[in-house]
Amino acid sequence: MPAALSVQSVKKTYSVKQGEVHALRGVSLTIESGEIFGLLGPNGAGKTTLINCILGIVKATSGTVEIFGHNNMSDYVAARKPVGFVYQDIALDNFFPVHRLLHFQRGLYGRPPNPAYVKQLLQELDLWDHRTKQPDQLSGGMRRRLALAQALVHEPELVILDEPTAGIDIELRDKTWDIIRRINQKGTTVLLTTHYIEEAENLCNRIGIIHQGLFKKIAPTQQLIHEMGQRRMTLHTPQAIPDDTLSQLSFPIEQHPGEQGGYRYDILIDRGVETVQTCMDWIKSTGIEIDEVELKPATLEEVFRNMAWGNGQ
């Protein structure tokens, strides 16, 4: 059986007035049937571009995409048929009420009508009471759910979701997660993009980290969490720490002016109690005056900036 999705050396260069944007600089990826794969990366990493290349909305500059063994350019009818998707920027036709839109969507993917399934889906997404409304009469959250319903109504084998939970409340996010897990249990392969580590951790069995148009790492989730478990220690001091003292520390450290005067130092610490201890020892040894210390998980942006495998490309 062919892989659900196979992306080979895809490059995408946008021509803009100021020159060229290399949104994808040669990415390869294989997703097996039954996976939930998370495409994780900061804004501008190239996630949406990759999704659009897979869907064929954007033509890759080079490289190939196959969906269940069908090339998405030369054999696009067969490649598109098993796919359901939600764009990052949802665009819905406003000519029809919700339920009709979903009935059409089934037909557009060659599926016979199935009112019972449409009803079940609408109920599950709390849209049943709104089924006769036009999309423009729905709230933002409802439109998102409608887009998800549209992606699922033809019972696709591969579901592609671009930032399915960006900017929505926790309740809807949990619901979306539940649905993703449920369809996956029934055998649907899922590819989603996110810039929340938490989402990728909770949902995906494998994660690809993309940054500046390249995969930095593709690995099973557990392995990645281990490697990414960095923390950020923030120190607030009334006086600046001398440069030669700073250079004694082996962790990356950044100096900023403090919000209430003084200075703020951000230190990125590798995972583990040991290393936090090392840091505390260093602070003690310098004898500098400290107003406040904070310890937090590192943000994804910091992790990217400091990833050992993120440099030199």
Q: Which residues bind ligand ADP (CB under 6 A)?
A: 14, 16, 21, 23, 41, 43-49
Stretch that binds another protein, among 50-58, 167-175, 197-205, 297-305 (CB under 8 A): 50-58
Q: Which is nearer to Mg ion, 45 or 158 (CB)?
A: 45
Shortest separation between residue 233's beta carbon and ligand ADP, angstroms: 29
Cβ–Cβ under 8 Å, residues 313 and 214: yes
Which option in another protein, ligand ADP, Mg ion, none does residue 165 bind, with CB closer than 5 to 8 A by kind?
Answer: none
Segment interacting with Mg ion, rule: CB under 5 A, options 39-47, 143-151, 231-239, 291-299? 39-47
Q: Which of 19, 112, 167, 261 binds another protein (CB under 8 A)?
A: 112
**Listed ranges 37-45, 77-85, 190-198, 255-263: which one lies at the site for another protein (CB under 8 A):** 77-85
Is residue 85 a contact partner of residue 161, using CB atoms and an 8 Å limit? yes
Torsion of CA 266, 271, 275, 276, to 10 degrees: 60
Identity of the residue, 89 or 289, whose beta carbon is nearer to ligand ADP in the bound complex = 89
Q: Which stretch binds another protein (CB under 8 A): 107-115, 163-171, 199-207, 237-245?
A: 107-115
Task: List the single partner that 59 binds among Mg ion, ligand ADP, another protein, none, CB under 5 to 8 Å by kind.
Answer: another protein
Q: Which of 40, 41, 46, 48 binds Mg ion (CB under 5 A)?
A: 48
52 binds Mg ion (CB under 5 A): no
When CB distances are held under 5 to 8 angstroms depending on the partner's kind, the choice from ligand ADP, another protein, Mg ion, none that residue 45 binds is ligand ADP
Does 95 bind another protein (CB under 8 A)? Our answer is yes
Asked if residue 237 lies in contact with residue 290, where contact means CB atoms within 8 angstroms, the answer is yes
Q: Is the dihedral of CA 183, 186, 191, 196 positive or negative?
A: positive
The reply to whether 96 sits near another protein by the rule CB under 8 A is yes
Per CB under 8 A, 56 contacts another protein: yes
Kindly write out the interface string for residues 4-43 of this chain, putting x where it contacts another protein by CB under 8 A and - elsewhere: ----------------------------------------
Shorter beta-carbon distance to another protein: residue 154 or 195: 154
What residue ranges bind Mg ion (CB under 5 A)? Answer: 47-48, 88
What residue ranges bind another protein (CB under 8 A)? Answer: 55-57, 59, 76-78, 80-81, 83, 85, 87, 89, 91-96, 104, 107-112
